[in-house]
Amino acid sequence: MPDLALYQPDIAGNTGALMRLAACMGVTLHIVEPAGFHLDDRALKRAGMDYLDIAAVARHLDWDGFEAWRGTSGRRLVLMTTAAGMAYTDFAFHHDDLILLGRESAGVPRQVHACADHRLVIPMAAGGRSLNVALAGAMVLGEAIRQTGRAGRLPPRS
């Protein structure tokens, strides 16, 4: 199943929303620290609600630690960036991709760009600069799940 990864997130509410998304979609959310907030932050809990208890979260102390883990796992790193030339909808996702989202305030540094196996963008209307990171993560994860056939089950009809 494709997983999401956050590079040094700044906003607790966005991370909480992505933890909720990860729980509902059955994926792991990887957090590359340091984060700009404590992981017991009230905003994180408010956005994640009771899903925080069931979300699969993997914490990586820093970028080097994340890359070491990724190297042993053999997973592709797919970076979402406004500096990419390929739309996420034109990309062929694999079932074990790691979809990396940058910091809300600054994206990712050049060294992280250099490590990415693929760089993708969400095309936007003229004048749009960027989307909320949680919204972007949901859009791209939804497409990756659709392509890989890893969607969950529909609830029983009443």
Residue 30: domain span? 3-148
Residue 55 lies in a domain: yes
Residue of 82, 88, 104, 67 whose CA lies nearest to 145? 88
Residue 158 lies in a domain: no
Residue 24 φ/ψ, nearest 5 degrees:
-70, -30
Range with lowest mean pLDDT among 28-32, 37-41, 72-76, 137-141 = 37-41
| Number of neighbours of residue 72 by Cβ within 10 angstroms | 7
Range with lowest mean pLDDT among 5-9, 51-55, 90-94 = 51-55
Given this model, what pLDDT does residue 157 score? 60
Residue 155 lies in a domain: no
Residue 102 lies in a domain: yes
CA angle at residue 121 from 118 to 124, to 5 degrees?
A: 170
What is the domain-level CATH number for residue 70? 3.40.1280.10
The neighbouring-strand residues paired with 59 are 31
Residue 26 lies in a domain: yes
Q: How many domains does one find in the chain? A: 1
Given this model, what pLDDT does residue 8 score? 96
The answer to whether 133 and 9 have CB atoms below 8 angstroms apart is yes
Query: Token pair of 156, please?
Result: 């029983």
Q: Which residue has the higher pLDDT, 109 or 130?
A: 109
pLDDT class for 63, splitting at 50, 70, 90? very high
Residue 130 lies in a domain: yes
pLDDT class for 128, splitting at 50, 70, 90? confident
> Regarding beta strands 77-80 and 28-32, do their DSSP bridges make them parallel or antiparallel, or are they unpaired?
unpaired
